[in-house]
Amino acid sequence: DIVMTQSPDSLAVSLGERATINCKSSQSVLYSSNNKNYLTWYQQRPGQPPKLLIYWASTRESGVPDRFNGSGSGTDFTLTISSLQAEDVAVYYCQQYYSTPPYSFGQGTRLEIK
């Protein structure tokens, strides 16, 4: 099974500053036949279900603000929030959906305001 490891576990950033969350997979999630990375990012606010932010590692879901950006390939990925807003306080998860299940999630990164 593919293990997903996020860093850091928690992060405090000032409003308007950049937040960076990393996600590493135990094996590559890049499918060579279509050159797609099977990696997604979610935001989960307290008491809410996860919300899809990014899929295929860098494709922003419709309606997601453009301050959210996903990057990386193979085993190393990054979610960047370019200018932190108060409503971005949440836990962020990466998830791989490469090949056959089980799909797996990172342990989550808690993002707070400094």
Partner 1 sequence: QVQLQESGPGLVKPSQTLSLTCTVSGGSISSGDYYWSWIRQPPGKGLEWIGYIYYSGSTYYNPSLKSRLTISVDTSKNQFSLKLSSVTAADTAVYYCARGGDESSGYYSHWGQGTLVTVSS
Q: Is 74 left (phi over 0), alpha (psi -120 to 50) or beta?
A: left
Give me the numbers of helices (H) and strands (E) for the chain, helices first please. 0, 13
Question: Which tokens go with 88?
Answer: 């971005």
Options 32, 86, 102, 114; binder of partner 1; rule CB under 8 A: 102
**Considering the complex, what minimum distance in angstroms separates the CB of residue 101 from partner 1?**
5
| Residue 77 in the binding site for partner 1 (CB under 8 A) | no
Q: Contact region for partner 1 (CB under 8 A) — 10-18, 47-55, 65-73, 75-83?
A: 47-55
Options 32, 33, 49, 86; binder of partner 1; rule CB under 8 A: 49
